[in-house]
């Protein structure tokens, strides 16, 4: 195998030198204050080795990367019945678009756009209390990463709730079509807190290990998800993980990935590696600009792709 630490070190240097770092998300106020100069990368290999570079230990807001963990939790609760309420086609639209939701009668295109994750938050909430549902989500992430220090940034959660008018609209719309059982504000409480989980690249790459290992959490030896469902989550990350930029990401990187507007991306090379990258500046579709370039280089140089025979 290529010297991954060497590859990371080179990529960190290359990214530092790039003048165009993209634009930091500013529609969630606390995210607007994050420096676009941050860059971190962490790789966990199948044998358990962890390799890091740059700001890999600094926590950031995982935002929509949480949709992967919410899907894992919601699938465990609702089973395949979940697919009656959420589709699995790439949306070809922005992550917070409302147009499609009307045309498709309140059934979101896939679990990785906001509307889809809002419906999953309703499933996770079930008949319980938001506080419990939020606790369950955080517990899952901590278990997957093997790290009890992971926490929710309340400041981010509250800011998002105070300014998330689009998400309110999406939730109300889904409810109007009968695809939300709970009240809008309770569902959004669950949704926003999941988005506000703060993790470092190192913690995130650890949490992604089950997706590289067919659903097994190497921390506990337990099967978090069946191999079959794990494969499907990876397929959805590949086809829908970057909104209307998903085709481009698959074309360039060739591996399942999920982005968030905090500038993080979780990337899975099945059987080989779980990777997290963080660069807060975004491209036009709300995905990390340098993060995508860095992953394209890492996957290309390491020879990782689901579309090539493994050497």
Which residues are at the interface with ligand GLN (CB under 6 A)? Answer: 63-64, 95-96, 114, 160, 167, 195, 260-261, 286
Least distance CB 114 / ligand GLN (angstroms): 5
| 3 state DSSP class of 264 | strand
Least distance CB 41 / ligand GLN (angstroms): 19
Given 243, 274, 275, 292, the catalytic residue: 243
- From residue 147, alpha-carbon distances to 35, 144, 202, 218 in Å are 26, 8, 11, 13
Given 34, 261, 272, 306, the catalytic residue: 261
Least distance CB 243 / ligand GLN (angstroms): 7
Residue 64 a catalytic site member: yes
- DSSP H/E element including 71: helix 66-78
* Contact in structure between 68 and 258 (CB atoms under 8 Å): yes
The structure tokens listed for 190 are 């669950």
* Contact in structure between 252 and 10 (CB atoms under 8 Å): no
Given 21, 38, 67, 175, the catalytic residue: 67
Residue 243 a catalytic site member: yes
Nearer to ligand GLN, 75 or 265 (CB): 265
d(CA 207, CA 219): 10
* Contact in structure between 30 and 159 (CB atoms under 8 Å): yes
Least distance CB 281 / ligand GLN (angstroms): 14
Residue 191 a catalytic site member: yes
The structure tokens listed for 219 are 């921390």
- HSE at residue 163, side-chain half, CA atoms within 13 A, is 12
Residue 27 a catalytic site member: no
Nearer to ligand GLN, 64 or 91 (CB): 64
Given 12, 70, 191, 277, the catalytic residue: 191
The structure tokens listed for 24 are 């930091």
Least distance CB 222 / ligand GLN (angstroms): 29
DSSP 288: B
* Contact in structure between 212 and 270 (CB atoms under 8 Å): yes
Given 12, 24, 64, 292, the catalytic residue: 64
Least distance CB 203 / ligand GLN (angstroms): 17
- From residue 272, alpha-carbon distances to 42, 74, 292 in Å are 14, 26, 19
The structure tokens listed for 280 are 């807060």
* Max Cα-Cα span within the chain: 54
Catalytic residues: 64, 67, 191, 243, 261
């Amino acid at each position: 195998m290529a010297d991954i630490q060497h590859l990371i070190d080179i990529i960190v240097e290359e990214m530092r030198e790039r003048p165009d770092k993209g634009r930091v998300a500013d529609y969630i106020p606390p995210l607007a204050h994050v420096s676009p100069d941050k860059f971190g990368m962490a790789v966990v290999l199948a044998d358990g080795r962890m390799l890091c570079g740059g700001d890999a230990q600094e926590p950031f807001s995982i935002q929509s990367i949480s949709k992967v963990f919410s899907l894992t939790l919601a699938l465990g609760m609702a089973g395949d019945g979940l697919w009656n309420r959420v589709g699995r086609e790439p949306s070809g639209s922005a992550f917070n678009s409302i147009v499609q939701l009307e045309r498709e009668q309140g059934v979101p295109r896939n679990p990785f756009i906001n509307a889809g994750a809002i419906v999953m938050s309703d499933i996770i909430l079930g008949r319980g209390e938001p506080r419990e549902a939020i606790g369950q989500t955080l517990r899952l992430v901590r278990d997957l990463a093997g790290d009890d220090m992971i926490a929710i940034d309340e400041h981010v959660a509250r800011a998002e709730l105070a300014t998330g008018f689009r998400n309110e609209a999406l939730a109300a719309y889904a409810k109007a079509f009968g695809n939300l059982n709970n009240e809008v504000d309770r569902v959004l409480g669950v949704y926003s807190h999941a988005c506000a989980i703060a993790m470092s690249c190192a913690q995130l790459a650890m949490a992604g290990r089950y997706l590289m290992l067919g659903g097994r959490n190497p921390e506990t030896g337990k099967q978090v998800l069946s191999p079959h469902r794990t494969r499907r989550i990876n397929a959805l990350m590949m086809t829908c993980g970057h909104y209307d930029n998903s085709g481009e990401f698959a074309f360039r990187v060739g591996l399942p990935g999920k982005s968030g507007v905090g500038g993080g991306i979780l990337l899975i090379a099945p059987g080989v590696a779980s990777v997290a990258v963080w660069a807060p500046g975004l491209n036009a579709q709300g995905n990390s600009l340098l993060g995508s370039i860095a992953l394209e280089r890492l996957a290309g140089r390491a020879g990782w792709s689901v579309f090539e025979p493994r050497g």
